[in-house]
């Protein structure tokens, strides 16, 4: 007779499956990763794996949603680190880079792969929306406080594009090793901030001009 697992045990097993799947998908891509290979690493047959995830698409969806949530948890915690908006924005940039280098497979699942909208579960859509909100909320707060001037979404995307580009280049070993990553990151963010800085914030921003 099969042993019935509790909800907590099922959740633990699903998490273990996602951890293995995350590495396979990041390494081989959504098309190259196979349920059989994922199951073999766990020591199962593919049939056992299908008891927890009905398809590879479902597993990919759940694995990406979980990666998004971990990423968002880090960004949200950084955003609660202090009342000063410049300090908060710097903490968010630090948290973003820390997550990328600490969890490169999860970072790749979040930003290197995409799925058709029809294949996304409500959980994945919600996780993506949460991450997008957290990546722009602090910039909206800075614009509303008069520290930056311009469209908050455009400024946030500029910060993100530069930070993501530097992260990817660092992961690929393409950056000059003589230039510390954080120095490049803060310099790039400083340039964006200078372009978006509100005139009335020039004194404060000049002291701490590197949000990300």
pLDDT score of 50 more than 50: yes
Q: Which of 151, 138, 121 is nearest to 54 (CA)?
A: 121
Convert the pLDDT of each residue in 18-46 to its tens digit: 999 999 999 999 999 999 999 999 999 99
pLDDT of residue 118: 84
pLDDT tens-digit readout, 64-102: 999 999 999 999 999 998 779 999 999 999 999 999 999
pLDDT in tens, 119-134: 899 999 999 999 999 9
Nearest 5°: the CA angle 133, 134, 138 is 105
Here the tokens at position 194 are 């200078």
Q: Is the dihedral of CA 41, 44, 47, 53 positive or negative?
A: negative
Query: Which of 154, 138, 65 is CA-nearest to residue 96?
Result: 138
Alpha carbon distance 170, 151 (integer Å): 29
Task: Report the pLDDT value the prediction gives residue 209, as an integer from 0 to 100.
Answer: 44
Segment 108-129 mean pLDDT: 92
Integer Cα distance of 76 and 201 in angstroms? 25
CB atoms within 10 A of CB 95: 20
Q: How would residue 199 be classed by pLDDT, with cut points 50, 70 and 90?
A: low
Residue/partner pairs of 81-89 with CB below 8 Å, 24 or more apart: 85/138, 85/141, 85/142, 85/145, 85/147, 86/147, 86/204, 86/205, 86/208, 86/211, 87/208, 88/138, 88/141, 89/138, 89/139, 89/142, 89/211, 89/212
Per-residue b/e over 20-51, b at no fewer than 16 CB within 10 Å? bbbbbbbeeebeebebeebbeeeebeeeebbe
Tell me which fold the domain 60-207 belongs to: Tetracycline Repressor; domain 2 (1.10.357)
pLDDT the model gives residue 116: 84
Domain boundaries, the chain: 60-207
Instruction: Give the CA angle between residues 165, 121, 66 to the nearest 5°.
Output: 55
């Amino acid at each position: 007779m099969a042993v019935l697992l509790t909800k907590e045990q099922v959740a633990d097993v699903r998490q273990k499956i996602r951890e293995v799947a995350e590495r396979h998908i990041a390494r081989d891509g959504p098309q190259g990763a196979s349920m059989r290979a994922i199951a073999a690493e766990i020591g199962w047959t593919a049939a056992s794996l299908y008891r927890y995830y009905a398809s590879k698409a479902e597993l990919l969806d759940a694995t990406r949603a979980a990666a998004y949530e971990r990423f968002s948890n880090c960004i949200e915690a950084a955003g609660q680190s202090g009342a000063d908006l410049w300090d908060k924005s710097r903490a968010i940039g630090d948290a973003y880079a820390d997550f990328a280098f600490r969890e490169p497979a999860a970072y790749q699942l979040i930003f290197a792969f995409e799925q058709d909208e029809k294949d996304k579960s409500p959980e994945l859509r919600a996780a993506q929306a949460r991450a997008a909100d957290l990546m722009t909320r602090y910039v909206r707060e800075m614009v509303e406080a008069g520290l930056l001037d311009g469209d908050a979404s455009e400024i946030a995307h500029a910060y993100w594009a530069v930070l993501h580009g530097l992260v990817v280049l660092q992961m690929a070993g393409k950056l000059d090793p003589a230039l510390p990553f954080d120095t490049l990151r803060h310099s790039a963010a400083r340039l964006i901030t200078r372009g978006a800085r509100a005139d009335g914030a020039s004194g404060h921003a000049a002291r701490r001009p590197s949000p990300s």
